[in-house]
A and B are shown apart, each in its own frame.
Chain A
Amino acid sequence: MSAQASMIKVPGGSHIPFLSDGDGESRPVEIETFLLDEKPVTNLDFLKFIEKNPRWAKSKIASLFSDENYLKHWPSDSLDKQAKSGIGDQPVVNVSWFAAKAYCESQGKRLPKVDEWEYSSDADNKENIKKILKWYGSTNNGEVVSVDAMETGKFGLRGMHGHIWEWVQDFNSVLITQDSRNKPSEKLEGLFCGGGSLKGKDSTDYASFMRHAFRSGLSGQYTYSLLGFRCAKDLSVKEMKEE
């Protein structure tokens, strides 16, 4: 395994976000060409990170940055030989947003933004939607495969759908539930500077709706046995000139 995970250059383009900010149609956003990890970050990758940054170890992480299930699938702060061969190449899960973010920063990278992730994942593709819905409905709870066994999708990215959920940088930018849950509504209307409620661009796209709803329910400390991540990176100035 190479020291630096291989990254795929995702060519920029126009993306229509699934959710609009209220008044009418979703406005397309321009995605700049950027780099995205080919595969999700693995348990072995994460172990190397912890060895250099022990404050993110299972026994040391501050509870401000994670819940109690952080790395619960690890036997200890490290992985023994058996664990390494068992789960080493599987995507790391049970990590909080803070830990995922710190990992990416340690590599000179960042988490992808939600628009970047959605754009790269080819989520509108009908075949993908079928696959995602099948995964949502499957019962193989907590089973993950090696990242090398994940199939390649658009742009050459592997395992974007059907395996794990992935953290994004701006997971907390979705305001789906907040306004609808609050009563009394007339008092709270207008409290959102951006105005009204959110709407999906295609109400039949249940797969996208699920993904956005899942993100809106997350908090930064949250960990889950099917929630991992991969990192992104902006192009360097030199690479941008070559674009």
Chain B
Amino acid sequence: MKKILAMAFLFAASALFAVPDDSLFNLDSEWKDNRGNETKFSQLDNKKYKVLTMIFTSCPSACPLMVSHIKKLDQALNSKQKKNVEYLLFSIDPLDSVETLAAFHEKFGLDDRWKFFKSEDENSIQELAAVVGFKYKKIDTSMYSHGTDVYLLNPDGQMIGKVGQSYKSKDLAGKIPEEI
């Protein structure tokens, strides 16, 4: 009987934590954030919508523009919506460090809902880019040509669209609920 109960519990628990098979939480890659914490996709907050894109911190023009653009999208949210979203920016440059990410984070005056991630493993970076459909190309050491797409994920890590294509602030505001 005990065994059956234990099995029933395990079954219920696994159903509860089951990751949809098109979720980014299925990625195994390991990342470090701008605070130096090691993390994986499966450890991301599954109660929050995620705005995700890829950048590199020594990027002279595009990435600062992308960040300020995403900030504008955030400013269009009301206070309830703001609590339900986080901003995840992944570096395409394996040479980015926790320090360069932290400096970038500070330079733009971003709050804790904004998280930057880096990996030394080019394979992990390439895999993430391929999963979301982000295009980039290394031109030189720490110099990349890249797209500017920004993706929206639901709390389960499933991609539900792109935001900011048309540079309209309602792009995001219309998609984040006040209650989750």
| Chain A contact residues, CB within 8 Å of chain B | 21, 62-65, 97-98, 101, 169-175, 178, 182, 187-188, 190-195, 216, 219-220
Enumerate chain B interface residues (CB-CB to A < 8 A).
21-24, 26-27, 56, 59-63, 65-66, 126-127, 129-131, 133-139, 143-148, 165, 167
Judged by DSSP, the binding face of A is loop
Most chain B CB neighbours (cut-off 10 Å) among A64, A169, A188, A220: A64
Chain B residue at smallest Cβ distance from A178: B147
Contact A172 B139 (CB under 8 A): no
Interchain CB contact (< 8 A) of A193 among B24, B59, B127, B131: B59
Q: How far is the CA of A172 from the CA of B137 in the complex (A)?
A: 8
Q: Are B133 and A172 neighbours in the complex by a CB distance under 8 Å?
A: yes
Determine which residue in A21, A172, A187 has the highest number of CB atoms from chain B within 10 A of its CB, and name it.
Answer: A172
Partner of A175 from the list B26, B133, B145, B165 (CB cut-off 8 Å) is: B145
B136 and A172 contacting across the interface, CB-CB below 8 Å: yes
A-B contact pairs, 30 of them (CB 8 A): A62-B21, A62-B26, A63-B21, A63-B22, A64-B22, A64-B26, A65-B26, A98-B127, A98-B130, A170-B126, A172-B130, A172-B135, A173-B135, A173-B137, A175-B146, A182-B165, A190-B61, A191-B62, A191-B66, A192-B62, A192-B146, A193-B59, A193-B60, A193-B143, A193-B145, A194-B143, A195-B145, A216-B135, A219-B133, A220-B131
Assuming the A-B contacts A64-B24, A191-B65, are A172 and B134 also in contact, with contact meaning beta carbons closer than 8 angstroms in the complex? Answer: yes
Indicate if the CB atoms of A191 and B148 lie closer than 8 Å: yes
Picked from B24, B127, B130, B146, the residue with its CB within 8 Å of the CB of A219 is: B130
What is the bound-complex CA distance between A62 and B24, given in angstroms? 10
Total CB contacts across the A-B interface at under 8 A: 85
Quick one: which of B134, B135, B144 has the most chain A CB within 10 A?
B135
Identity of the chain A residue whose Cβ is nearest the Cβ of B145 in the assembled complex = A194
Contact flag A64-B23 (CB < 8 Å), given A175-B135, A194-B139: yes
B137 engages A174 (CB within 8 Å): yes
Instruction: Return chain B residues, CB-CB under 8 Å to A98.
Output: 127, 130
In the bound complex, residues from chain A placing their C-beta under 8 Å from that of B134 are: 172
CA distance A171 to B126 in the complex (A): 10
Among A62, A97, A193, A219, chain B packs the most CB atoms within 10 A around the CB of: A193
Q: Which residues of chain B are near A190, meaning CB under 8 Å?
A: 61-62, 65
Closest chain B residue to A60, Cβ basis: B21
For the A-B complex with A64-B21, A64-B27, A173-B138 known, give 9 more contacts whose Cβ atoms are closer than 8 Å.
Answer: A21-B137, A21-B139, A170-B137, A172-B126, A172-B129, A182-B165, A191-B65, A191-B148, A192-B147
Partner of B131, one of A64, A170, A192: A64
Q: Whose C-beta in chain A lies nearest to the C-beta of B27?
A: A64
A169, B127: Cβ atoms closer than 8 Å: no
A98 to B26, CA, bound (A): 13
A150 CB to nearest chain B CB (Å): 28
- The complex places the Cα of A65 from the Cα of B130 at a distance, in Å, of 9
Cβ–Cβ < 8 Å partners of B59 in chain A = 193
**Which chain B residue shows the least CB distance to A183?**
B166
Q: Across chains A and B, which 10 residue pairs bring their CB atoms closest together, nearest first?
A: A194-B145, A220-B130, A173-B137, A62-B21, A63-B22, A191-B62, A193-B62, A191-B148, A172-B135, A64-B22
C-alpha spacing A65/B127, complex, angstroms? 10
For residue B140, give the distance in angstroms from its CB to the closest CB of chain A. Answer: 9
Q: Are B21 and A191 in contact (CB under 8 A)?
A: no
Given contact pairs A64-B21, A98-B127, A193 touches B135 in the complex (Cβ within 8 A): no
Q: Which residue of A lies closest to B60 (CB)?
A: A193
CA distance A85 to B22 in the complex (A): 34
A193 contacts B61, C-beta separation under 8 Å = yes
Q: How far is the CA of A216 from the CA of B167 in the complex (A)?
A: 24
Pick the most buried of A97, A178, A191: most chain B CB atoms within 10 A of its CB.
Answer: A191
